Every structure is written in structure tokens, then in C-alpha cells.
Structure 1
Amino acid sequence: MQLIIKNLSKTYSNGVQALKDINLTINSGMFGLLGPNGAGKSSLMRTISTLQEPDSGTITLGDIDVLHQKDEVRKTLGYLPQEFGVYPKISAEDLLDHLAVLKGITNRSQRKELVTSLLHKTNLFNDKKKHLSGYSGGMKQRFGIAQALLSNPKLIIVDEPTAGLDPAERNRFLNLLGELSDETIVILSTHIVEDVKELCTDMAIINKGQVLMQGNPLKALDDLKGKIWSQRVDRELAADYKERLNVISDKLVAGKPTLHVLSDTKPEAGFEQTIPDLEDVYFSYIFGSQPQALTV
């Protein structure tokens, strides 16, 4: 199954153009959608999940016209939005059971079996009687995946799922996503590069409502080999380097900035070639001078 997005655009009433002629083809498996806050990721996710209408364009999921067959989409969609609200004074078991009824699973024994299975899958079974108000952020996110899996979806969308999680909960959540079926399309929308690096075999970078690239992360890394140069500099000199070089990122290491420069040749004395990582790929499109709308 493929999710195919063609020429999708959306401008809000305040004049903000959130999506600008988006074109993406997404296959089964984990797909990473990377971009800074405000890039248009959530607008795209809401449009795919039938929560808002675009101004123009088409979306198809297999043989389903997403924009005109909303009920069919919802039957096969699992969605975990960035802001996921829960009823605080109800247990995880009871709320999952209630949501299963809303999904059309009316057979009580079938529903109980499904809820129990999902609680085990998300490692929440031992806390199934606990009120959701007592869940940690990571536990709530795992509950969010449990509810998203209720109808055995063919398309799962998770929007900024690890923001605010501590490292242990983040790892648990990513491991859970990694266990989902290869037959399912899973879109991981995030601004955290490491999430995509660890899970996704295909990705896209979006900024200011436009797709800057789509492709395999390993291929994108290979294309940057020999083009990333690094040097630690005095803090007061960093701005000067940024004025004259294609600096795509800087990090403080022991109080001094380490600059990464995108260049086909050694930019200046003192810079050493470094092995690129996915952050370099990301920053090369967001802040560097990589060509736009590239497929790799």
C-alpha cells in the first residue's frame, strides 16, 4: 500500500501558507517527516488524517481517495496527535474498552481480548487499573499508541511523539514503534533527528510548508561524505565564521562552539573533514545551501 500526496496546499485564514505544493510518495514501513517547529508538519498530518481540508491537491491511500472518502480513511487510520488528551479519572483498561466500542468492536469477548493484547504490547498491563491522571508522559504516549492500534490500522500517524519524554521513556516508545508491522505505513512526524535515525528507512525534510528532500537516510548520508568540515573556535569568532562560510550548525563543547561547514573543498585552514551524521543532512537543507526539492 502507498500513501500518495500530490500538489497539496493549504493557507489559513490569517494568511499563513502552511503547505505549499506538497508532493510525497510514502510506502509501507517507517517514514520520518523531519522539520523545525512551524514547518508545516502538523498541518500535513491533520490533512492526511481528515481533520482539515486543503485548498488544493489530492491524497490517496491505496484505492481510497482520502479527501472524499473520509469514513473509509478513518476505519484504517491510527492517529496519535501532538496534543493527546485523555480522561483523567478513568483507567487505561476502561478507556481502551470504551474507545474500542466507538471503533465498532461490539463483541465483548473479542474486545476484552484485544484490549488485553494491546495493554501487554504497550507494557501497560500491570497499570491497567490505574487512572490515566497518574500516568507519566511516556506511559500516556504508549497508551496513545494502544488506542491508535485498536482497529488494526494500515496507516498510523504519530506527531512529535517523544517531545518532553525522558531518555528511558523515549527508548521504550521508539522500541514500540519499531515493532509495528512492516505492512503498515507509519509516519513519524518530528523535529528530533535521532528519532528518525533510529527507526526510518525513508524520510523527508519539510520547512516553511515545502518539501526540501525525500529519500533514504543512508543514501543522504553517503551524498554528504567529504562535504562536512568541523572546527572548534573561540566564541567571539563564531559570528565572523558564519558571515563568510556555509555554517550549518554549531554546538558548544567545553564552552567553545564546534562549527560544521558544508563545502565541497576545505573552507579554511583549521577545518578538518568529519564523518556526516543525520543532523548534518537535516541542517544542510534547513540552514545550508543544498538544492531544494531533491529526491535521494
Structure 2
Amino acid sequence: MNLLIDGLTKTYDNGVKALNGVSLTIEPGLFGLLGPNGAGKSSLMRTIATLQLPDQGRIVMQDVNGQDIDVLTQPDELRKILGYLPQDFGVYPRIDAVTLLDHLAVLKGIHNGKERKEVVETLLQRVNLWEARKKNLSGYSGGMRQRFGIAQALLGNPKLIIVDEPTAGLDPAERNRFLNLLAGLGQEAIVILSTHIVEDVQELCAQMAIINKGTVLLSGHPLDAVQMVQGVIWKKSVAPGDLDLMHRMYAVINDRMVAGQPMVYVYATSQPAPGFVRVEAGLEEVYFTEITDAENRYHAQRTVPIPAL
């Protein structure tokens, strides 16, 4: 079972090109889709989830038994095996979890009352909401709502599960609980995790891609990606007034405050200057290297030469 995405393009009516020839092959397990806000992640998720059509390209759910589903021409067939948790998951706040999940199970096609009761109870226990099952969703924390969102996404035993920015806004404890839940789901299905949080992908996923401005910059195994930048990332603590100079002189991929002092991270094949220390690279360094390089190329393409007088 694989999900094949081939040459997807999508331009909205306002002229924004959200997807630019996206091609990916996603195998069972957790697949991390990384990118900044506005990179095209949600557009890709909505297209896979049959909520919008692309301008070009195709999506095929390849079944090991030869029962392939063309997602764009057979959306109803995909919806039978799809679980989807969008970035903004709305709930009816004055309804308890059992009642709402039962209602959603009916909409999913589970009409037998006994079967539906068993499914609802099993899912609420699985996402650790059984003790709060009679509580109105208005009283749920952010993490509890996200876990309820996963419960509704699991109705019908889906083979493809899409979660869009699921840990944004969660506290560390809730985030860990939610990530552990996702890790378990990856044992049974294709789970696509769309996020801008690098740690989520590094901790969970054996497959990943980085996307920006609708273009796939890199795809593969996170460890292979990290190996590509091992030994070529350097850091140095600098004075606040020197940040602009650092950006002009070096290939800075990131800068951030560390203990109240700016720290710059630079891509270089050898020590850029005295005081720079080589960094043990991780997925975060891969991410910033790819995004920075893509942004530089994008701005270079948009630069209009000044004609000679």
C-alpha cells in the first residue's frame, strides 16, 4: 500500500501558486511534511483529502491487492478509507464526547447501534478520553480536543490518515501524549503529519519531505537528510549589532537568541572565521538550510536587473 502523488499543481483565483509540481511516494508509517506557514502544506493535505481539485497532476492510492484508487476521479472510494484531522477542527461545544462521536459515526456509515456503541467506546478509550466522555467539549483542553479529533478521524478503520498541524498550541505534556498516539497509528496505516515543528518529524517519522512555496525541496529519510549537512554547519555568539554584518558576510541559515545573546548558524565547508564552532547537525539544520537556500534562489529569480543608462 502506497500513496503516489505525481505532478500536482494548484493556483488559486487570487494568483497564489500553492502547489508547483509536487511529486511524492508515501509508504505505510508516519510521513512528516515540513514547511513554514504558507508553504503549501495545507493545500496539499486538502487536495489529498478530496476537498479541492488540483489544476494538474494525479494522486493514486496503490493497494497491494491491485485495487488502486484514483483519488481525483474516485473521491468517494478514498473517503471510505480516509481519516482527516484538519488544522482548524471545529466541535459542538455543548455536546459531550460520546454523543458527538456517535453522531459522526452515523455520518461515517456505521448504522448498527450495537456496533456503533462498541466503536465509540473503543476509540474514546484508545485516545484516553474515556474518563471525560460525558464532559462537554467546551471544557476540554487543547490537547483533549486534538485527541477527540483523532478519535473521529479513526472512525471506519482508515488506511490513510491526514493530520494538519496537530500539535500547534499544545503544552509539552499534551504534545507528547498526542505524538505517542500518532506513533501507534503509524503501525497500521499511512499517516501524513503536516507541521512546521521540526521536532515532531525528527522524533516520529521514517519518511519526510520539506516543502516551501508549493515546491518539494527535499524528500527521504530524516537520518539521510541530516547526514547531508553533517560537518558543514557552524555557530557563533555575536553582539546584537553584528547580526546584519553576519548575514552579509556568511551563508547564515538561522539566528536565534541563546541565553539572551544572538547566536548565528552558518553553512560553510570549513571554519568561516575564528570563534565559529562546528555544530552536531540535526533535522533543524537541514530544514533551515533547505528553506534558506530556496528563499535565496526565489529572491534571485525575482530580482530585476537595472538597465544600463
Is TM (by shorter chain) over 0.5? Answer: yes
- Structure 1 residues 144 and 289: CA distance shift in structure 2, 3 A: closer
1:40 aligned residue: 40
What's the counterpart of residue 123 of structure 1? 128
Q: Equivalent residue for 2:154?
A: 149
- 1:10 match: 10
The structural deviation recorded for 1:181 is 4.2
Could you tell me how far apart the structure 2 residues matched to 1:106 and 1:254 are? 58
* Matched-pair contact (CA < 8 Å) for 1:5–1:59: yes
Q: CA deviation at 1:289?
A: 6.8
CA contact (8 A) 2:233 2:281 kept: yes
Residues 1:229 and 2:234 are matched in the alignment: yes
Question: 1:135-146 to 2 correspondence within 5 Å?
Answer: 135-146=140-151
- For this pair of structures, how many residues does the alignment match? 292
Q: Does 2:27 correspond to 1:27? A: yes
Q: CA deviation at 1:105?
A: 0.8
The aligned residue for residue 132 of structure 1 is: 137
Query: What is the deviation of 1:183?
Result: 3.5
Cα drift, residue 291 of structure 1: 11
Select which of 218, 225, 241 maps to 2:223: 218
Structure 2: stretches of 5+ with no match in the other structure: 63-67, 298-309
Partner in structure 2 of residue 50 of structure 1: 50
Shift in Å, 1:254 = 2.0
Mapped pair 1:72 → 2:77 = yes
TM-score (norm 2): 0.92
Helix, strand or coil at the partner of 1:287: helix
Partner of 2:116: 111
Task: Report the equivalent of 2:93.
Answer: 88
Q: Is the 8 A contact 1:29 1:185 kept in 2?
A: yes
Letter in 2 for 1:97: D
The equivalent position to 2:279 in structure 1, one of 263, 274, 289, is 274
- Secondary structure (helix, strand or coil) at the match of 1:288 reads helix
The amino acid across from 1:205 in the alignment is I
Tell me, in whole angstroms, the C-alpha distance in 1 between the residues paired with 2:8 and 2:227.
Answer: 30
What is the Cα deviation at residue 107 of structure 1? 1.3
Would the aligned equivalents of 2:30 and 2:186 in 1 still touch at CA under 8 Å?
A: no
Identity of aligned residues (%): 62
Post-superposition Cα deviations, 1:245-286, rounded to whole Å, max 9, x if no partner, equal 111011211221111111111111211111001110100000
> In 2, Cα distance between the equivalents of 1:291 and 1:146?
42
Alignment deviations for residues 4-47 of structure 1 (CA, whole Å, 9 cap, x no partner) = 11110000000000000101110000000000000000000000
Say which SS state the counterpart of residue 185 (structure 2) adopts. Answer: coil
Residue pair 1:247, 1:288 contacting (<8 A) in 2 also: no
Residue 131 of structure 1, CA deviation? 0.7
Deviation of 1:89 (Å): 1.2
RMSD of aligned alpha carbons? 1.4
1:146-295 aligned at under 5 Å gives the runs 146-288=151-293
**Structure 2 vs 1, CA of residues 30 and 249 (structure 1 numbering), >3 Å: closer, same or farther?**
same
Shift of 1:67: 0.3
CA offsets per residue over residues 223-257 of structure 1, 9 Å max, x none?
21111111111111111011111110112112211
Instruction: Report SS of the residue matched to 2:25.
Output: strand
User: CA shift at 1:200, angstroms?
Assistant: 0.4
The residue aligned with 2:306 is: none
Give yes or no for contact 1:204–1:214 (8 Å, CA) kept in 2. yes
Gapped regions of structure 1 (runs ≥ 5) = none
Structure 1-normalised TM-score? 0.96
Q: Specify the SS of the correspondent of 2:293.
A: coil
Distance 2:261 2:294 in 1: 25
Give me the whole-angstrom Cα distance separating, in 2, the residues matched to 1:274 and 1:191: 22
